[in-house]
Structure 1
Amino acid sequence: MKTHPDTVLGRLAVAARPPRPWLRIQASNWWTRVLLAGGARRRPLGGADLRTANLTGGYLRGADLTGADLRGANLDGADLRGARLGAADLTRADLRGAYLTGAYVRGADLTRADVRTSNLDDADLRDAYLTRAHLTRTVMRGADLDGADLSGANLDGAVLTRTVMRGANLDGAVLTRAVLRGANLDGANLDGADLRGANLDGVNLVNVTWSERTRWPDAVAALMRERSVPIGGGRYRVQGSGNTEAEVPAPPVPVA
């Protein structure tokens, strides 16, 4: 936002850079935008104790919340685009409808967090803990979830187009009606996952492990058996050279 020094907003922007750099100002989301446009700096929040804080609709775009304690915090509808949340504790946090496009959330703990209908496009969630997280209808196009723990998570109707989930743990995860078009699940664990009704067009499933408890979409269930080999304990590993349409020379899995 550009401001002219002779206007009210211009004078406020100048006030945002006082001779006392330690001056702390609390402002609404709208005034926060004005002050930041004028050169004000956010108070560092890395490692901050924000347990159960009410940050509903907060303007935290680009904020550094590395390692912050946000357990049980209310971030419903907050703007966290480009924010740094690496190693932050968001256990049971409310992130419904939040904007986390391009956010850095690597290694963060979102166990049982409510992330329904939020936007995580292009977010970095590598090695994040999303155990039993609520991700219904969450949009995560192009997000990086390499090595993430999504065991027991609810991703019903989630948009995971082009998402990278190599080596991710999806044990018992609900992926019903999810859109995984073009996603990379190389080496992921789908033991007990429910993928009924999911769109798996062009998904890379090489080395994915699954079990008799796994529920595949009807259209690919037989193919997945043909593409897989038993590895013991009622579990199988998908063989082949690529996505769900790939030709696979591997021996078929016997159907009980």
Structure 2
Amino acid sequence: MSQTGNRESESSRLTEVIDDPREVEQAYARQYENLSREFSRVIQSKRGILAEIGCGKGQLTIPVARLLPHCRFRVVDTFAGAYTGTPRLLNKALLQARLRNRVKVYKADYLAWLWDQYSDSYAGVVSSEFLPEIDSYELSVLLSECYRVVRPGGITVHSFLSPIARNRRQKLMIEADSNPKWTKTPPKEWFSPKPALVLSELRRAGFRDLHVEKMKSNLIIRSDASRSFLHSWDVRTTFWKTHQVELASEGLEVPDWSIISGLKP
């Protein structure tokens, strides 16, 4: 019988309010530091090779690899468009972190890469902020492939920002990043999938002992910092101009994180 556990992250971090554009990048990097601790707690003593889908700049890869010294990593991304120079930067960051011997980077389409992997060969498959990039059909295919390549007793873990806003600041951020009126890069289907859908697809794929954890971002970005942040997310300047007064005083708030995991029996 499958069980679904729900856990609220016991974070005592104070809310961080960023007004200076120069502090935005580091503030968001701390989000991944916090996520990496949750990933390492969920993965715990798993040994072997972990695959990461959509590794990007290594925002999650590097802190998780540091916390899981008993694991090796194979990370994949298309590195397309604006990210064409990312592999060089990622490999440089891995070298500086002394992780090149444990992390192997692949430039490939994620499904083509997964289809080339042997069944039951990975200790786990993870992703962060990748599920928002795909649609419901791809989600189903992805999680089925995760189940196939993970060995019995292995795990899959996926984190993403919640599509359900708790307040006006979060609602503004979701609107900016998902409405084609505002964003230059509208999503295929959603800002993020609803956690209930991800759970349903994990269960359908065969995963059991399902868990959902929620982690508050505790990050508010205001004034000129919000303008810089929106630009980095490819949001049109018309959004800033339309909501300038509100963004200056109240700002945007990064939505809560959902961290969903399941085990292969």
TM-score for the superposition, normalised by structure 1: 0.21
Of Structure 1 and Structure 2, the greater strand share is in 2
Of Structure 1 and Structure 2, the greater helix share is in 2
TM-score for the superposition, normalised by structure 2: 0.21
Structure number with the bigger relative contact order (C-alpha 8 A, sep ≥ 6) is: 2
Tell which structure's C-alpha radius of gyration is larger.
Answer: 1
